[in-house]
Each structure stands twice: as C-alpha cells, then as structure tokens.
Amino acid sequence: MEQLKTTGAPTIEWRHDARQVPYRAALAEQEARNTAIAEGRADELIWMLEHPPVYTAGTSAPADELVDPRFEVVETGRGGRYTYHGPGQRVGYVLLNLATRGRDVRRFVHGVENWVIATLGDFGVEAWAVPERIGIWTRDVDGSEAKIGAIGVRVRKWVTMHGFAVNLAPDLSHFSGIVPCGIADYGVTSLARLGLAVAPEEWDGALRERAGDFLAAIQSPE
C-alpha cells in the first residue's frame, strides 16, 4: 500500500488501479471506506482508477438530460447531474475527513479544482474553473471553450466521497448520450484531442507530485 505523508497530518492511502473497476463496485467500496474513516477505523484514501463505460446520475439529474442510455446508468448520491465515465478517462476518488480540516466543503471543492488545474498546467494545458459552470475548462482545438474535467463530491459524516475525472483519451462520442453536467452549450475535449499523449500512470504521478499543495490548501488555517 502506497501512502501520502505530510508533516503533522494523518496518513493517506494512495491507491493506483491499472485495471478497470466497475462503477458499482467502486461506489460500494467508497461507501464502506467513508464509514470506516468517519469511525476512525481506516486511513483516508485517494484512489486513481478508470471505469468501463457508464453514465452516472447526480442528485439533480433531470430525466431529459439522459439522451441515449446506451450504457448502464447508476444513481450515485453525489451532487450534480449526468456524467460519463469510461476507458481513457482518469477518475480520482478523494476520501478525506473534513472534520479534522475545518469542515469547509467549499474550500475542499476549490482545492480539488485547483489541484486538477495545476496538474493540467504541468502538461502545458491552460485550464480554469467557471463559477456558473461545473467542471474544469480549457480551449479546444477550434478555440472554443470545452470541458476537459468533471468535479462531483458528496460529504457524509464530514468525510468526502467521489471527486474528479479528467479526459486523457476517452471516446468523446460516448458523451453524446447525455447532456454532460447539464451544460448543453459547450463541447467536451481531452488531452489526446489537444495533441497530448499522457499515460494514466504519468497523469497519476503528476497529481501525486502536487498532492502536498492540495492538502495544504484544504487544511483549516486555525
């Protein structure tokens, strides 16, 4: 088991899965780990993985945004609307105890956004968050604004679940079965579409290099 350690902070398990993990199995494991972390029976967890093709529904997903349910659809309990996960998209599940970090959900979400944005910058991709639109955005090959990453979290017993997903090289046509995150006016892009070949382990390694900055950013200043 790999670990992340920062001075004076709890041990965090860093898990890297090369295999595809079925979405329902990952969700069940998150829910069990969430309870164990809240009860002090397990370390916190950052889990990097990919899923077989699946559409996931957040708590505010309307039925008319599921355009073509060609893949399994799973209700998740996280915030947000419909999201696609599949091969070529790297998912990061972040299970941290906010009770020891000031109980500030907004600071946590902004910390996740900035972590992903900074890591994309390490690969030469300028990206940003937009307050009125969920997700991580960049310039597509035609110069238009397009979504390259998704953010979706749930907090239960002050322990976070779910996290983020970044498009390394997925089949972008799979996104057409939904209105991604309820935003119909913008496209979806990937690092591969932008001309960058980034392997999953390379992406995971870059995220890990910046994990200390992320953890410092979400820690209560008190």
Annotated active-site positions, please? 181
Residues 6+ apart with CB under 8 A from 205: none
Residue 164's DSSP bridge partners are 92, 151
Residue 73, CA atoms < 13 Å, CB-side half-sphere: 16
Q: Which helix (H) or strand (E) holds 117?
A: helix 105-122
User: How far apart (Å, rounded) are the C-alpha atoms in residues 189 and 182?
Assistant: 16
Joined together, the tokens standing for residue 18 give 């090369």
Q: CB under 8 Å to 101, separation ≥6 — which residues? A: 108, 218, 219, 220
Residue type, 28: A
Half-sphere exposure of 135 (CA within 13 A, CB side): 25
Phi-psi region at 190: left, alpha or beta (left = phi > 0; alpha = psi -120 to 50): beta
Are 195 and 119 in contact, with CB atoms under 8 Å apart? no
